[in-house]
Amino acid sequence: MTDAGTLPEDRPLDALTHPSPPDLLAKFDALIAEREALLETGVRDPFAIVMDEVLSPTEAMIQGRKTILLGTYNYMGMTFDPDVVAAGKKALDEYGAGTTGSRVLNGTYQGHKEVEAALRDFYAMDHAIVFSTGYQANLGMISTLAGKGDYIILDADSHASIYDGCWLGNAEVVRFRHNSVEDLDKRLGRLPPHAGKLVILEGVYSMFGDIAPLAEMVRVAKNHGAMILCDEAHGMGFFGANGRGVFEEAGVENEVDFVVGTFSKSVGTVGGFCVSNHPKFEVLRLVCRPYVFTASLPPSVVATAATSIRKLAHAHNKRGKLWDNSRRLHKGLRDLGFKLGTPEAQSAIIAVILPDQETAVAMWQTLLELGLYVNMARPPATPAGTYLLRCSLCAEHRDEQVGEIIAMFAQAGRRTGTIA
């Protein structure tokens, strides 16, 4: 027993005045346990693959084995284009490794202006602004365009960067059912007629590879007085006569107000952008926080991007080859009995839908052991309860590689019992 006002020897003062704080990572305990249980079965971690050496847009060395790449978003194969690589090397020699500053301070070099000029030419639009990533492009544009008292209307299956752009701002957010023109019309009709409204659409949805009915959706949005932002991250390069995206193919180029895209898919490097004909567009350089408050892209990156974009404008043969590859692989997998995300090939993405996580991981690992890398996707990146292998084709995949891919899927599917 202790005297009143004294502390037990095993209870120091700090323990009473500074109790242990709650573990802020405890909310992820269930996910940690799930991952550990999965890895204890002997499978590799699908989200921790290391490319030991990249040989080409379609092949890499993974743990000492030459592996076909079918999960890189390198749609047009520009990562190893000789002109693109040479432009990056030249800029690295002339301007150094980085800018160490924001675009509004010391971070605008001649190369940043040149890549924005290349974008204006490629899209035949008056204005272009470049961000350090595609994620930041959506984050910046959406949070800046729609503010308090405005409404953002978006597809329920929109990319995480779109949702995060909504959360960074303070507009009211309204979701409509995936690719439903009728639901978009209904929800727009419930909003105050004179409120500011921004409808956000995606040309290609990255999980299932399906495309949006942009012509119908744009018509509905305009009927309700909304402005439109279209994300063409997965459509740039091979949709439309000039490769501008699904909005070009749908014939709504003059009705979409803002087009957001990325350099990390068809362009073959890293960065994001927005193009527009809006006469007040340039004010965004002063008010868009993810543009103002981050370092600009290195000179070598913008040099590679500008060169790649200018070449993509004339890449008609590449576009044709990519579509050939996509249609052939889709048919091959469908004929084998796999459940796919779309009834026909709609883009360069083909989703192989599997019944559960265990089957998805088993298929993914078996394919890797056979020499094929694909992406495994699970919630929250996919809808609840949906597990899939996402295949991303490249214009540089040779005919014999596509044949090998189909054969490996057949072998892996039978080994895992996914197909008969």
Per-residue pLDDT tens over the stretch 269-307: 999 999 999 999 999 999 999 999 999 999 999 999 999
pLDDT, position 2:
46
pLDDT mean across residues, the chain: 94
Q: Are strands 272-276 and 258-262 parallel, antiparallel or unpaired?
A: antiparallel
pLDDT, position 238:
93
Q: Model confidence over 339-355: pLDDT tens digits?
A: 999 999 999 999 999 99
Instruction: State residue 162 phi and psi, 5-degree precision.
Output: -70, -45
Q: Which residues are tagged catalytic?
A: 206, 234, 265
Instruction: State residue 391 phi and psi, 5-degree precision.
Output: -100, 130
Q: What is the pTM of this model?
A: 0.92
pLDDT, position 364:
96
pLDDT, position 15:
55
Residue with tokens 């490794």: 97
Question: Which tokens belong to 369?
Answer: 């052991």
Q: Which residues of the chain have pLDDT under 70?
A: 1-18
Q: Model confidence over 188-226: pLDDT tens digits?
A: 999 999 999 999 999 999 999 999 999 999 999 999 999
Residue with tokens 């084709």: 393
